[in-house]
């Protein structure tokens, strides 16, 4: 991984974003209007543009926050999909979408590109952060948004209560040293779970949560490493004894790993986490199981999946956001390195 020279450009988001929000899918790099918009993507896009800032962030943040406001059903519950004709579909509500929406709202409240957006997002958080879910990954996303808000407003009551509940409900390592993962199978966005443990532990000064999160992350890094690169859990998940490499591998796994390792590096600098950041970012550049780049250099978009013989040529919202988020991690890591004694 080369040291990043600056944050990622947000201009390539224009390809999938219109005045309503970010479209969910693409055919190659062409937006698929027939698939409409998804709350998940607009929540994560809001978090990303607020974290990156700079040119274009204000206009994009207004659109993504406006989409979430329109999707909100009350109490932190959100409609899932909006068709291109601006009618809500009958898709069932998703806890993951709720959590990712709250991630975006909390991040916008903390890091929105201007005071108006931060104020609106904070008022939105007041309404929505009473939400709770029995699902770990959904809780993890929401807790990351709440923790971001507490960074700038430590007295925000709803955010603190959500983080306090999350530290009690997020899963901890099993006693089995060979499989400490809290699930029988690895699923999707796996590194999000240790990321949330580390983050809420840092926010609350809970060393046990930090230790549990870094333990899970070290095991996940070892499990998903082949030779000198990451071989991520495929879209169908995996369990003990299954062979690697396995496909399709999704950009969301590299995205989650990069962010989790960066969070761990902030509180527990370690060569394992340093190398995980590098390998997660470099996965997009072709340091993966088949040696092909996951980024289309002509569009700046990410390919939707790594397959046994190549890439899925479609470049939807999740893959694009994963590429941009990994570049933001690389930039954040470049700035963090001098304080940890490591070199990017």
Domain that holds residue 291: 173-344
| Range 250-264 average pLDDT | 98
Which band of pLDDT confidence, cut at 50, 70 and 90, is reported for residue 1?
A: confident
Asked if residue 266 lies in contact with residue 201, where contact means CB atoms within 8 angstroms, the answer is no
Which band of pLDDT confidence, cut at 50, 70 and 90, is reported for residue 319?
A: very high
Residue 22 pLDDT > 70: yes
Residue 343 confidence (pLDDT): 47
Which band of pLDDT confidence, cut at 50, 70 and 90, is reported for residue 337?
A: confident
**CB-based contacts of 47, cutoff 8 Å, min separation 6:** 103, 104, 106, 107, 108, 145
Q: Which residue has the tokens 């291109």?
A: 84
For residue 261, which of 180, 319, 199 has the smallest C-alpha distance?
Answer: 199
- For residue range 41-99, what is the model confidence (pLDDT) as tens digits? 999 999 999 999 999 999 999 999 999 999 999 999 999 999 999 999 999 999 999 99
For residue 4, which of 328, 340, 341 has the smallest C-alpha distance?
Answer: 328
Half-sphere exposure (CA, 13 Å, Cβ side) for 200? 30
CA separation for the pair 139, 98 (Å, rounded)? 9
Residue 256 confidence (pLDDT): 98
Secondary structure letter of residue 316 according to DSSP:
-
| Range 142-159 average pLDDT | 98
Q: Judge whether 24 lies within some domain.
A: no
Asked if 192 and 145 sit in the same domain, the reply is no
| Distances, alpha carbon 158 to alpha carbons 48, 107, 143, 145, in Å | 22, 14, 11, 12
Residue 339 confidence (pLDDT): 66
- For residue range 114-149, what is the model confidence (pLDDT) as tens digits? 999 999 999 999 999 999 999 999 999 999 999 999
pTM, 2 dp? 0.97
Q: Judge whether 20 lies within some domain.
A: no
Q: Judge whether 4 lies within some domain.
A: no
Asked if 222 and 160 sit in the same domain, the reply is no
Asked if 326 and 311 sit in the same domain, the reply is yes
Q: Judge whether 17 lies within some domain.
A: no
Q: Judge whether 260 lies within some domain.
A: yes
Asked if 161 and 179 sit in the same domain, the reply is no
- Provide the token pair at 304: 């939707």
């Amino acid at each position: 991984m080369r040291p990043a020279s600056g944050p990622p450009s947000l201009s390539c988001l224009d390809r999938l974003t219109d005045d309503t929000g970010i479209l969910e899918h693409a055919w190659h790099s062409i937006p698929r209007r027939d698939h409409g918009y998804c709350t998940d993507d607009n929540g994560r896009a809001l978090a990303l543009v607020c974290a990156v800032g700079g040119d274009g962030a204000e206009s994009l943040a207004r659109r993504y926050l406006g989409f979430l406001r329109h999707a909100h059903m009350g109490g932190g519950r959100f409609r899932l999909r909006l068709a291109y004709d601006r009618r809500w579909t009958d898709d069932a509500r998703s806890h993951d979408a709720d959590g990712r929406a709250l991630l975006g709202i909390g991040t916008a409240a903390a890091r929105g590109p201007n005071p108006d957006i931060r104020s609106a997002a904070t008022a939105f958080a007041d309404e929505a952060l009473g939400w709770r879910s029995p699902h770990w990954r959904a809780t993890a996303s929401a807790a990351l948004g709440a923790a971001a808000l507490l960074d700038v407003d430590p007295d925000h009551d709803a955010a603190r209560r959500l983080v306090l509940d999350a530290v009690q409900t997020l899963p901890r390592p099993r006693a089995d040293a060979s499989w400490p993962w809290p699930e029988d199978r690895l699923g999707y966005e796996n590194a999000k779970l240790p990321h949330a443990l580390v983050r809420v532990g840092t926010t609350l000064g809970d060393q046990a949560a930090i230790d549990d999160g870094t333990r899970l992350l070290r095991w996940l890094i070892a499990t998903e490493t082949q030779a000198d690169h990451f071989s991520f859990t495929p879209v169908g998940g995996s369990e003990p004894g299954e062979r690697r490499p396995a496909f399709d591998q999704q950009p969301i796994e590299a995205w989650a790993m990069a962010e989790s390792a960066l969070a761990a590096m902030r509180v527990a600098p370690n060569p394992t986490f340093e190398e995980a950041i590098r390998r997660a970012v470099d996965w997009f550049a072709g340091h993966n199981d088949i040696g092909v780049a996951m980024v289309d250099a002509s569009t700046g978009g990410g390919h939707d999946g790594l397959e046994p013989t190549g890439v899925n040529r479609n470049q939807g919202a999740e893959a694009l956001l994963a590429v941009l988020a990994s570049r933001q991690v690389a930039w954040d890591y470049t700035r963090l390195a001098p304080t940890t004694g490591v070199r990017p």
